[in-house]
Amino acid sequence: MKLFKHKRPFIIILIALLFLFATKAYYDTNSVEIKHYQIENSSVGEVLRGLKVAHLSDLHIKNIGATERKILEILEVETPDLIFITGDFINFEGPYEPFTSFLTQLKPPFGVYSALGNTEYSNENGSCTLCHEKKAKSLKKKQNYIFLRNASIPLRIDGKTINIIGVDDPVDKKNNLRKALENTNSEDPSILLAHSPEVFEEASRFGIDFLLCGHNHGGQIFITKLLRKFIPLDPALEFLEGFYQKGKLLMYVSRGIGTSYLPFRFGVKPEITFFTFTAQQHGNTAAHLSWSISNTPPITIFTGFNFSNLVETFNIFKIFDSLGITSAPPHRNTATQQHRSTATQQHRNTAAQNILFDFESESELGKLNWECHKWFELSEEHATSGKHSLRVTLPPGQYPGINFEGIKKDWSKSNYFKMDIFNPSEEEFNFHVRIDDNKSGLEYANRFDKDFNLKPGPNHISIPMSSIQTNLRHRSLDLKRIKGMTVFLIKNTKPRELYLDNIRLE
């Protein structure tokens, strides 16, 4: 009892500190800081002079909650002419529906332009909903928003042109700035959208004028600024937030809106940023090397207190998810668990035939690696087993193909790997099969590869298990530990359509 009395002041102080920390963290996480910058002596201002540009990043939208509604209110009041979004639209492996709902409410007169971030590739299958009609290859019509994946688009305003450029996610090394610049006029000013600031040096070399990005959340916790001076961290964290300049290039790194890893912020509030521009001074050819930036004091808006936000803010180990008291939609893996259990049951029912993929269930489409311009759908045409085949459209490219996820690992009790393919075109072309085991890694020498010539009409591929050896070392693959199977076309020059069915072991 005496021991407790001695410790009581310490306990009270600890509780008070925890309360202060929680209050500060909740406020910082559930506030939005509005920033306004005017950029003078800008080549970008030659086109965007008199217009207001909004920059959003790292939304990580789980649902349309208080923060999202507040951002929409801010945008409605500010009425920007142009909106840029630099990636991480969704929560990790989360659904796209909340983000697309948010997106449809943005209606600036000159459009919304976006570049993808790394969380989009945590649910790549769902990303088709950004550009396509639901469950269709056709693109959405009359969109007021454009997603730029290593691409550019000229924006013409009052007879002048500015290049809006977007690179794909640099975090997963999908960025290709050279490709994105292919159709641009180098004499026109340019704005580059990238999720991560790690493209800063490259953008400077290519003569970009203005770069917008995010990814780092400003460190999310204030101590990140101190830690990076003493502890080796991600090189991208060299650019936590704010303006950076190199040569003619000016970069702005947003603190973003949402959170990552930890569900709260501390000392680093979310932000939405607005830019206005003035043109270069007449006759001053060096003006773009000395950007002049002015700003008004930022305004912080608290989105309010509610129980749902409180739970989300401190749901550190997802401990509240299983209790059903979070407002977030089901995790993608959880949402598809019923489909997967159905697929598992189907697999058990067909285990005697060793069917790997028979494309009789929509759930199997979730085991294919979807990408932009690539399309999969179940079809009743050219089915060789059951009612459906897989209709595939592969785009032009170096190696467009299909990576089959969650494939059966033990092939040791079979003598052949087989699949049926229908080629609806009148041309022959090569079709490549790659098989990896647990030792293959990324080395060509340590995996199995084989080409097949697809003739018009039906084709049947058969590979004896005894021939599945590594390319150069001629090591037999460990058939009890098959890690993956990929099919693709090499140096494909135009869109190709295929029908796959009955991928099996015999």
Residue with tokens 């506030």: 31
* Total number of residues shown for the chain: 506
> What's the predicted TM-score (pTM) here?
0.75
CA 72, 77, 81, 85 dihedral sign is negative
Residue that has been written with the tokens 């001053």 in this structure: 284
Q: What is the mean pLDDT of residues 268-287?
A: 80
Whether the Cβ atoms of residue 200 and residue 251 lie closer than 8 Å to each other: yes
Inform me whether the pLDDT recorded for 306 exceeds 60: yes
Per-residue confidence at 14, pLDDT binned at 50, 70, 90? Answer: confident
Question: Cβ-count burial of 257 within 10 angstroms (0-12 exposed, 13-18 middle, 19+ buried)?
Answer: buried
Tell me the pLDDT tens digit for each residue of 86-108. 999 999 888 899 999 999 999 99
Q: Which residues pair with 105 in a beta bridge?
A: none
Q: Yes or no: say if 151 and 119 are a contact pair by the CB < 8 Å rule.
A: no
- Res 38 pLDDT > 90: yes
In the chain, ranges of CATH 2.60.120.430 domains: 355-505
Residue 468 has what pLDDT? 96
| Residues 72, 301: Cα–Cα separation, whole Å | 13
pLDDT band of 325, cuts 50, 70, 90? low
Mean pLDDT of the chain: 87
Please give, one letter per residue, the 3-state secondary structure of 353-404: HCEEECCCCHHHHHHECCCCCCEEEEECCCCCCCCCEEEEEECCECCCEEEE
Q: How far is CA 415 from the centre of its chain?
A: 40
**Structure-model confidence comparison of residues 318 and 79, the more confident one:** 79
Domain with CATH 3.60.21.10 in the chain: 10-310
The residues that bridge with 242 in the sheet, in sequence order, are 253
pLDDT of residue 443: 81
Separation of alpha carbons 99 and 58, rounded Å = 11
Name, in order, each residue with C-beta under 8 angstroms of 360's C-beta and a sequence gap of 6 or more: 346, 378, 386, 387, 388
Instruction: Give 403-456 pLDDT, tens digit per residue.
Output: 998 889 999 999 999 999 999 999 999 999 999 999 998 788 999 999 999 999
Please give the pLDDT value at position 231. Answer: 66
* Predicted pLDDT at 80: 98
Task: Tokens for 240, please give them.
Answer: 């936590």
**Which pLDDT value is given to residue 334?**
42
CA separation for the pair 487, 410 (Å, rounded): 19
Tell me whether strands 496-505 and 355-357 are parallel, antiparallel or unpaired: antiparallel
Confidence of residue 12 (pLDDT cuts 50, 70, 90): confident
Q: What is the pLDDT of residue 486?
A: 94
Vertex 219, ends 216 and 223: CA angle to 5°?
165
Task: List all residues 6 or more positions away from 257 whose beta carbon is below 8 Å from its beta carbon.
Answer: 32, 56, 57, 58, 59, 60, 67, 71, 270, 271, 272
Q: How far apart are CA 295 and CA 444, in angstroms?
A: 54
Q: What is the pLDDT of residue 406?
A: 83
| Domain covering 355-505: architecture | Sandwich (2.60)
Give the CA radius of gyration of the chain. Answer: 26
What is the tens place of the pLDDT at every residue in 180-234?
999 899 999 999 999 999 999 999 999 999 999 999 999 999 888 777 666 666 6
Q: Residue 350 has what pLDDT? A: 44
In this prediction, residue 421 carries a pLDDT of 97
On whether the CB atoms of residues 208 and 194 are closer than 8 A, the answer is: no
CATH class, domain 10-310, is: alpha beta
What's the pLDDT score for residue 232? 63
pLDDT tens figures, 365-417: 878 887 777 888 999 999 998 999 999 999 888 888 999 988 899 999 999 99
Helical (H) or strand (E) element with 416: strand 416-423
Residue 164, pLDDT > 90, answer: yes
Spatial distance between the Cα atoms of 132 and 382, rounded to a whole number of angstroms: 25
**Comparing 66-80, 271-285, 290-304, which segment has the lowest mean pLDDT?**
271-285
Paired strand residues for 246? 249
| CA–CA separation, 66 and 87 (whole Å) | 21
Pairing type for strands 190-193 and 210-213 reads: parallel
Alpha carbon of residue 159 to chain centroid:
34
Average pLDDT over residues 353-364: 88
Under 8 Å between Cβ of 343 and 363: yes
Asked if 400 contacts 488 with a C-beta cutoff of 8 angstroms, the reply is: yes
